[in-house]
Amino acid sequence: MSVLRRIKLAILLSLAVVSVATPLISQVNPPYGEIVAINPNGVVSAREIEHGLKFYFRVTDQALLARLQVGQPVWVGEPNGQGVALSPGGHWCCLMEGSGRGTVDRSNTCCELVANPALAGQLGRLVVAFPESADVSRSLVDVFRAGEHTAAWEGQGSQTWDLEPGMYAVTISGKRVERVMVSSHHDTRVRVGALRV
């Protein structure tokens, strides 16, 4: 067999391997979700393909942020199930905001999520509303960004804040509630009560 014929055969075999391997990669590692909104501040909203739940990740690289597109698939995995990649087998460019896969905790009973289409832009609203009959004027309410221990917002009694989508923690009279998800165009109502004495 001539050298030229061997080169042609090698090229044909390599093309056949690529055409067979490419679908296998997508079958083994399908996208976890797709981008649904991109905020200029770096917070990217995405939606799970399997369950349709929203999750968020933060992009700090401005050049990468400028290249993102709505509808673009994303993959989720290491480290600790919180890494986000923009291609199968690609490097983990970002981390999910909050606790990782399925940032919306289906078992979380801390809050009620109610659609609020009147909210501007991509904001969501965090609502801490005590019963009207209760005197809670001295009840302290603090809101923390996920993983932080210094309050970003604070108040007394019933409060509302319009916030960027993502995961937060709320402290009410010293009791900390973790994994409070704020979603675009939704009210997140933290379940609270008042003790009668």
Q: What is the predicted pLDDT for the residue at 182?
A: 86
Q: What is the predicted pLDDT for the residue at 9?
A: 60
pTM of the model: 0.47
Question: 168 - beta bridge partners?
Answer: 145, 180
Domain 111-190 has CATH 2.60.40: yes
β-sheet with 175-182: strand ranges across: 153-156, 140-145, 166-172, 175-182
Q: Which two tokens stand for residue 175?
A: 């009791």
Residue bearing tokens 């890494």 = 83
Q: What is the predicted pLDDT for the residue at 40?
A: 86
Can you tell me the distance from the alpha carbon of 178 to that of 144, in angstroms, rounded to the nearest whole number?
A: 9
Q: What is the predicted pLDDT for the residue at 12?
A: 56
- Mean pLDDT (the chain, rounded): 76
Q: What is the predicted pLDDT for the residue at 154?
A: 93
Largest Cα–Cα separation, the chain: 97
Residues of the chain scoring pLDDT < 50: 15-28, 98-108, 195-197
Q: What is the predicted pLDDT for the residue at 146?
A: 82
